[in-house]
């Protein structure tokens, strides 16, 4: 069995860059980066982190290695944007409308006016 090499989130950029240098990997696009990470996993590297964190590092490094690629630049720029901007606006709208108790307008039912019945017994 291969020796496992644990890669923590604090060192992921360094470990990947060292692999690229040591193996002389050419990163042309993000697909190259994915293939390289698969090679690292096959070689026994274990990325002990959230996959989002790993993807962020992969995007950063792919852009570092090929900064002229507009697709890579767009990936990095998208990751720098607030993800839930629309969700946050929806949440704020909901909070504004739900802070005051809301009731459906109540209809006042008028009871029919009864005319006094004439007495059936005549005096």
Distance of CA 106 to the CA centre of its chain: 42
* Domain that includes residue 14, residue range: 5-82
Q: What is the mean pLDDT of residues 54-70?
A: 93
Question: Using alpha carbons only, what angle is made at residue 60 by residues 58 and 63, rounded to the nearest 5 degrees?
Answer: 105
Q: Is residue 69 part of a domain?
A: yes
- Return the pLDDT at 99: 54
- Return the pLDDT at 118: 57
Q: Is residue 32 part of a domain?
A: yes
Cα(59)–Cα(29) distance, integer angstroms: 9
Instruction: Give me the number of domains the chain comprises.
Output: 1
Q: How confident is the model at residue 105 (pLDDT cuts 50, 70, 90)?
A: low
Instruction: List all residues 6 or more positions away from 3 whose beta carbon is below 8 Å from its beta carbon.
Output: 44
Q: How confident is the model at residue 2 (pLDDT cuts 50, 70, 90)?
A: confident
Length of the chain, please?
A: 123
Q: Give, for 37, the enclosing helix (H) or strand (E).
A: helix 30-42
Q: Is residue 44 part of a domain?
A: yes
Cα(38)–Cα(42) distance, integer angstroms: 6
Cα(108)–Cα(103) distance, integer angstroms: 14
Q: Is the pLDDT of residue 108 over 70?
A: no
Q: Is residue 18 part of a domain?
A: yes
Q: Is residue 87 part of a domain?
A: no
In tens, the pLDDT along 11-25 reads 999 999 999 999 999
Instruction: State the CB neighbour count (10 A cutoff) for residue 120.
Output: 5
Q: Is residue 14 part of a domain?
A: yes
- Return the pLDDT at 82: 77
Q: Is residue 123 part of a domain?
A: no
Q: Is residue 61 part of a domain?
A: yes
């Amino acid at each position: 069995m291969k020796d496992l090499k644990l890669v923590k989130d604090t060192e992921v950029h360094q470990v990947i860059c060292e692999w690229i240098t040591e193996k002389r990997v050419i990163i042309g696009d993000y697909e190259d980066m994915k293939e390289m990470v698969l090679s690292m996993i096959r070689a026994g590297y274990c990325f002990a982190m959230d996959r989002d964190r790993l993807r962020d590092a992969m995007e950063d490094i792919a852009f570092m290695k090929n900064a002229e690629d507009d697709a890579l630049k767009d990936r990095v720029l998208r990751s720098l944007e607030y993800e839930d901007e629309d969700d946050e606006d929806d949440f704020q709208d909901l909070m504004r409308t739900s802070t005051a108790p809301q009731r459906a307008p109540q209809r006042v039912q008028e009871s029919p006016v009864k005319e006094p019945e004439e007495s059936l017994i005549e005096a």
